[in-house]
A and B are shown apart, each in its own frame.
Chain A
Amino acid sequence: MGMMRNHYRPLLRSIALPAALLLFLFSFTVPSHAADKTIGVILPGDLSSYWDIQSEFKNNLKRAGVGGDVEIIIQRPFPDPISLSNAARKLIAIDVNLIVAYGTDAAMAVIKERTNIPLVYAGVYEPAADSLKHRNATGVKANVSVTSLIRYLRKLNSIKEIGVLYSSDEEESVLQLKEVTKAAGQYQFAVRPVNLAGKKKIADLLAGGMPEALFVTGSVVANIKYADIRQQVLSQKVLTAFFMLGRSWQGTLTMTFDPEEQGRQAADLAAKILQGTAPANVADVTSQKIELIFNLKQVTSMGRRIPMDLVTEATSLIK
């Protein structure tokens, strides 16, 4: 008997541990009632720009043709590879009907799990979207131009050095850093990459002194950590350019996609899939609206000249 117990112990352990984990997960995430459809959402960093897409996505599901009771389960992981992967696994374990992931890295985390659950992504930088080509995935991309934002930034001042806030953990931001570096060669300015991956503190990384201007890539971590240096940036009159991630009202300039349009488009794609079309037969889309937000108030308070080109081209002015 004792021998038998010893023989089965490893087997029992291998079944019991995952079962306990699943029970634990289910106790927190399983909807209290049975919905017709369940959509799992990965919203990294709890970022407001992703919430803007999500809100429009949710509001447009019915219009897009998703009928019945829809349960939406939202995961808000920190944007590091392990947390994103855990968020994907949780939604797969719940066996949702569809996963919606915001940003390239969240979408990639789902694809890496090799699940059969369809994926709709949104808020993805178009040059990074090639890595998301998969039979179970489709989504909404945004073709925002790094060079355009640099060009507008340079209209404010002939900048000699730009600090680039990025994260080596986030593919999109690495691509954007490369684009800034390419533009630097043409426009003759130096690039100071500031890698915010991991637990590095932004203030420590910039302790040596602020550059003349900061380019905040579409890195979720950079957008979160920027808050720690915001006062310093304003007091030192550093020009800031925010790229991709929503309508930042804190930067001098922001170039981004229209989150409402992305949400509506993602809802259209989700509806097609939930109505039975295979994701492979639902073509991804590029959002059409690009916004340029110019913080006139900030530039005026810095005592800088206001370039009329920027006033003319901006889609929104902060006065």
Chain B
Amino acid sequence: MKRLRTIALALLLVVFTTPALADDAEILLGLIPDANIFDELIRFRLISDYVSARTGVPIKVKIMSRYGDVIDRFTAVNMDGAFLGAFTGALAINRLGLEPLVRPVDPEGKAESRSIIFVRKDSGIRSVSEMQGKRIVFVDRATVTGHFFALSWIRAAGVTDVDHYFREQQFVGNHDSTVYAVLDNRADVGTCKLRHFNRMVAKDPMIGEELAIIARSGPFPDLTLFVRQDLPKEIKSKLRGGFLSMHNESEGAVVLGKAQITRFDPAVGEDYRPVIDVVNKAGYQIGTYQVK
């Protein structure tokens, strides 16, 4: 009886911990709250539904509540993959050994992201020396375009203790909110992804009239689909193929258009070298950085 119980327990463990997927098993993909979470979820559900239908691999997309959640979520919720930004991608490679698969290309043909630092034009702030004692707004501690680039830029101007250089540091959770915070005078200096800023200015040119960009970064890899390394090769191959061929299929092109994506390109681990460099310049190491 005891042996039977042991066997049953062992079987249960195998069932719940095996990395392999049954043919009809659902793939769970996480999505970081890059901008407005509701818009983002709609965009990526459109795409994943299409790829599911084409490849026969059922996909479920779930929002991760915070940028830094990626590590915890993967281990806690048995995620199979995630759309990750530059920093969370580098973190996922370093800590979880995740594999970059594909990356969306925007309507301008770019699959890269850049960070900007911005202020209100009427604030008179144009350099780091004028930021002392002011309020700075970041996206999240775990983002290159919404945190680490700005830190590296401020440190390059000779500020070693950023925590005490500013009167207040806010982390607002998404890129759009940093823009609104500075527009509303809830913060004096903001940082976010250039693409989000441009998208907001295109919708509302007054934003461009009111804000001034005072620094820009070089390119970082943009949102990328990562999967766990031990996902069956066949599933990985189906997913990669499904995403990469979308723009060649008439229905797929329509779905991409709705999500404001031109096509998906292949992604590799070496794309993350600039991320590691800027994190180092900000005074941190990917391997030891405490997200929380």
Q: Verify that A and B bind, or say they do not.
A: yes
Min CB distance, B134 to chain A, in Å? 9
Would you list which residues of chain A between 128 and 155 have a CB under 8 Å from chain B?
A: 143-145, 147-148, 151
Interface size range on A against B: 10 to 19
Min CB distance, A229 to chain B, in Å? 27
The answer to whether A6 has its CB under 8 Å from any CB of chain B is no
Q: A1-40 CB contact bits vs B (8 Å, 1 = yes)? A: 0000000000000000000000000000000000000000
Q: Could you say which of B137-145, B181-189, B264-272 contacts chain A? A: B181-189
Q: A140-181 CB contact bits vs B (8 Å, 1 = yes)? A: 000111011001000000000000000000000000000000
Does the CB pair B209–A312 fall under 8 Å?
Answer: no
Which A residue sits closest to B186, measured CB to CB?
A290
The answer to whether B80 has its CB under 8 Å from any CB of chain A is no
The answer to whether A183 has its CB under 8 Å from any CB of chain B is yes
Q: B235-275 CB contact bits vs A (8 Å, 1 = yes)? A: 00000000000000000000000000000000000000000
Q: Which residues of B contact A147 (CB under 8 A)?
A: 183, 206, 210
Interface size range on B against A: 10 to 19
The answer to whether A116 has its CB under 8 Å from any CB of chain B is no
Q: B155-175 CB contact bits vs A (8 Å, 1 = yes)? A: 000000000000110000010
Does the CB pair A313–B185 fall under 8 Å?
Answer: no
Does the CB pair A290–B206 fall under 8 Å?
Answer: no
Residues of A contacting B: mostly: helix
Among A143, A151, A255, A288, the residue within 8 A (CB) of B204 is A151
A312-B185 CB under 8 A given contacts A151-B204, A186-B205, A186-B206: no
Q: Which residues of B contact A308 (CB under 8 A)?
A: 36, 38-39
Q: Which residues of B contact A309 (CB under 8 A)?
A: 36, 176, 180
Does the CB pair B206–A187 fall under 8 Å?
Answer: yes
Q: B80-99 CB contact bits vs A (8 Å, 1 = yes)? A: 00000000000000000000
Q: How far is the CA of A148 from the CA of B186 in the complex (A)?
A: 11
Q: How far is the CA of A151 from the CA of B209 in the complex (A)?
A: 13
Does the CB pair B184–A148 fall under 8 Å?
Answer: yes
Q: A274-318 CB contact bits vs B (8 Å, 1 = yes)? A: 000000000000001110100000000000000011001100000
Does the CB pair B36–A312 fall under 8 Å?
Answer: yes
The answer to whether B135 has its CB under 8 Å from any CB of chain A is yes
Please list 8 pairs of residues, one from A and one from B, whose beta carbons are closer than 8 Å in the complex, sorted by A's number.
Answer: A143-B185, A148-B183, A151-B204, A290-B184, A290-B186, A308-B39, A312-B177, A313-B177
Q: Which 5 A-B pairs have the closest CB atoms?
A: A148-B184, A143-B185, A290-B186, A308-B38, A186-B206
